[in-house]
Structure formats: C-alpha cells, structure tokens
A and B are shown apart, each in its own frame.
Chain A
Amino acid sequence: MGEVTTAVLGNEHGFATTRFDALLGWARKYSLFQYPFVTACCAMEHMATAGARYDIERFGAGAPRFSPRQSDLLWVVGTIVQKQAPVLRRIYEQMTEPKYVIAFGTCASCGGFYDNYATLPGIDKVVPVDVFIPGCPPRPEAVLDGLMLLMEKVQNGNREPAVLPPPQQLPPLVQLRDKRTA
C-alpha cells in the first residue's frame, strides 16, 4: 500500500495511485456541495435539473450551500460579464480546498455569442475550470452527463480541464404521457 498523500488536489501524478486516494475520491464525488453561482438563462435548466424529473440529488450533488466556505463545487451558471469577474474570482478564492468548478453553458465556457465589450469570454480566464458543459442552455441530461464526468475526475484525481463531448445518441423526445402520477 502506498503512503498516505497529503496533497488534497490529487498527487503529482495527476491520478489516484493509492487506495486511500481512491477512497477519498469515492467519498468526495458522492457528496459534492454545490455553490450555484447563477446569473442567466442557464438558471432555468439548473432549476429543472434540481427538479423532480432530472433530480440532481440522486447523485448527491443536490445540496446547495450558499456560502463558498461550505461548498466544494462551484457551478458557474450563465453569462459572466466583466463587471461580475472580480466577484467570481473572489468567490472562488473564498472556497476551501478541494474545490472544483463547472462551467455550465456556452457563455460560461467561452462567452457564447456575446463577443462584445461587456462579456467575459469564458470563466477560465479568471478561475481554473474542471468541466465545461456546452449548450445554450444545455439540456438537463447534458448537465447530468457533465456532472458524471466531473465525478469520474474527482474519483481519479484528474485536474485536467475537460469539455463534455456530444452524446453518442440524442436523448429521446419526452412524449407527454397519458397517465401522469401527481
């Protein structure tokens, strides 16, 4: 068994080498406390993901902590404008290690189609990002896919930024059912 590592961001190899690391990763990935830094339209899909149909709580990532000191996953949901960038940077700095960042939506990933004077072209200009979820806004299925990708990375201790790949097959259009449970 390898030595217990004290580097909480994963060790210098960038992946978990010890069983203890793997255990820590497993514990962390199922108990991500989110800080929803919510600004724009992606908030609607964030709400839908938290709702009963898409249910982010079953991944353990549903509990929002509105204080950066108590959360470890920063969801940057929506466009970040230049006026907001120092605020985002400060919230990120206030979070305690280990911390992860998800860029939810195209505006957070790269500025979206607002390539103008007002918008920050991607939050990775001010904070390091772990997972980019593209979409304008991304479907809740894509959000959950991105969350699962992050959970894999948390498990492995991999800090390399990753972009959510497009799905192998599109999710089926949800038809309205005749019989609905309340």
Chain B
Amino acid sequence: MSKQVLSLLQERFGAKILAVDSFRGDDEAHVAPEAWHEVALFLRDDPACAMDHFIDLTAVDYPEREPEQPRFDVLVFLRSLRKKHRIRLKTRVRDGQQLDSLTSVWAGANWTEREAFDLFGVRFKSHPDLRRILMYDEFVGHPLRKDYPIQKTQPLVAYREVGATKLPPFGADEGTPFARIDWLARMQGRNQQVSPAIAVQQGQQPALSIRREDTGPDAPLGQPVRPDQPGQPDQLGSKA
C-alpha cells in the first residue's frame, strides 16, 4: 500500500529522498532537510497520497554520529484517512540548525514541534509560537538529549530541611544498576559499566560521571552540575 507512496515520492523528488526503507511493515522515507516542507505539502495535497491525518512528530538524539552526520533525527508520522496507508518521514538536523515548521501543513505539528524543541532543542523556522511546553521556562538545557544527566534537577523552590528520619533517594550507584548505560560516560569515551561493584571486579574504572553529592536536593542551588573531567563543553543550554 504505502510502497506506492514511497515510489511516488521518489519519482517526484528524486535526489531529495535520500533513502526509503520498510522494516517490519513500517514505511520510512529519509528526506533531505531542505525539502522537508515541500514533501509534506505534496503528501497532504496529492490525491494519490492524501495524508490528511497527522499522527506524530518527534526527534531522536544520536550524539555519537557527530560530527560526520547530524545528531538529531526528526520524524513525522502520517496517515491517510481514505486510503489508510501510513508513512514515516525522517530527516537529520544538527544542533543549531533550523528545520522548517510543518504547522502550516498540519495543525497538530504545533505542539509536537514545541515538544521537540523543549526536550531536544531542535528549532523550527516560522513556527508561530516556539516555546517550552512540558518543562518550565526557567529550565536550562534540553532533558532528552543523551548528554543531559537524568538525575540533574533544577528546583524552582528551595528545599526545606527534612528530618533525619527520611532516607535520601537512591544514588546512581544504588538500586538496580544492571543494564544501565551512563551516557555521559559513554560519550566521554569511558567504559559503560555503571555498577561499581562489577566494575572493580573486572578491573575497570567505575563509569560514574556524576558525583552523588552533585545531584538533586543536596546540590547547592544555583550551582550547575559539572562532570568530573575539566574542559568539558557546557552541555547545558542549546547552541542556537
């Protein structure tokens, strides 16, 4: 069904469709970022495609692809009401590169692009209202990026002193450390083992890049968390 759509796209846009794929029944077209808006309009307006039902827009972060390939994958999921076929469009953008907004094509792109901006930092040109949607405005950084440490909180209200009867929450080295990947450490080229016990046993260095006292409520407010290595680029805030 959607194979037709993929071949129509390739006929019409030629070299701007960089790749097509169909894995497990999902049809995906990799589009060059310059043709993003054009392709979207074509998919909506062409009677053979008729993709009038907007499904979703999201992004995925592959920081290890930089600098050869752009880091973010932006994906749009579409569906046609009458023809019932589906398609997924993908494009790659760098950090700081702007992508055309699809708000003028489908209204559902409005909030989903705001979410992609909020959580990843991908900027959309000519979006009517690009601001944070899920996080608060005072938040610095984009949490779903792989280099944003998951436990780094940025409290809005200063924490009260609580009594000693309450145990502090789990640190990064407690709880269930198996299968956990410390992305910051991996991006810094260190090994992936999170659990210090297993790491010591295998003669590796524990890969914790965050000191427990630097995270969460024990961290003094107003002082951003820095990884242990000096000279790290500041991962807070987007480059745009």
Listed in ascending order, the chain A residues whose CB lies under 8 Å from chain B are 82-83, 85-86, 89, 110-111, 115-122, 124-128, 161
Contacts and interface: CB of A to CB of B under 8 A. Distances in A.
Given A82-B136, A117-B143, A89 B157 contact: yes
Interface in B128-166: 135-136, 143, 148-157, 159-160, 162-163, 165-166
B108 interface: no
Contacts of A120: 155
B157 A124 contact: no
B217 interface: yes
Given A82-B136, A83-B136, A125-B162, A117 B154 contact: yes
Contacts of A161: 163, 165
A115 B163 contact: no
A83 B143 CA distance: 14
A127 B148 CA distance: 29
Given A115-B151, A126-B160, 10 more contacts: A82-B153, A89-B157, A110-B166, A115-B169, A117-B148, A120-B155, A121-B153, A125-B160, A126-B157, A161-B163
A3 to B, nearest CB: 30
Given A117-B143, A121-B217, A124-B162, A82 B154 contact: yes
B178 interface: no
Interface of B: 135-136, 143, 148-157, 159-160, 162-163, 165-166, 169-170, 216-217
A115 B217 CA distance: 11
Contacts of B155: 82, 85, 120, 125
Contact of A118 (B143, B170, B217): B143
A115 B212 CA distance: 13
30 contacts: A82-B136, A82-B154, A83-B135, A83-B136, A83-B156, A86-B157, A110-B166, A110-B169, A115-B151, A115-B169, A116-B153, A117-B143, A117-B148, A117-B150, A117-B151, A117-B152, A118-B143, A119-B153, A120-B155, A121-B169, A121-B216, A122-B162, A122-B166, A124-B160, A124-B166, A125-B155, A125-B157, A126-B159, A126-B160, A161-B165
B215 to A, nearest CB: 9
Contacts of B166: 110, 122, 124
A110 B143 CA distance: 21
Contacts of A115: 151, 169-170, 216
Contact of A85 (B135, B151, B157): B157
A122 B155 CA distance: 12
Contacts of B148: 117
A120 B154 CA distance: 10
Given A110-B166, A111-B169, A117 B153 contact: yes
Nearest to B171: A115
Contacts of B149: 117
Contacts of A85: 155-157
A138 to B, nearest CB: 18
A130 to B, nearest CB: 13
Nearest to B157: A85
Given A117-B150, A121-B216, A82 B156 contact: yes
A115 B172 CA distance: 10
8 closest Cβ contacts across the A-B interface?
A125-B159, A83-B136, A85-B157, A116-B150, A126-B157, A124-B162, A117-B143, A121-B169
Q: Which of A83, A110, A122 has the largest count of B CB atoms less than 10 A from its CB? A: A83
Contacts of B216: 115, 121
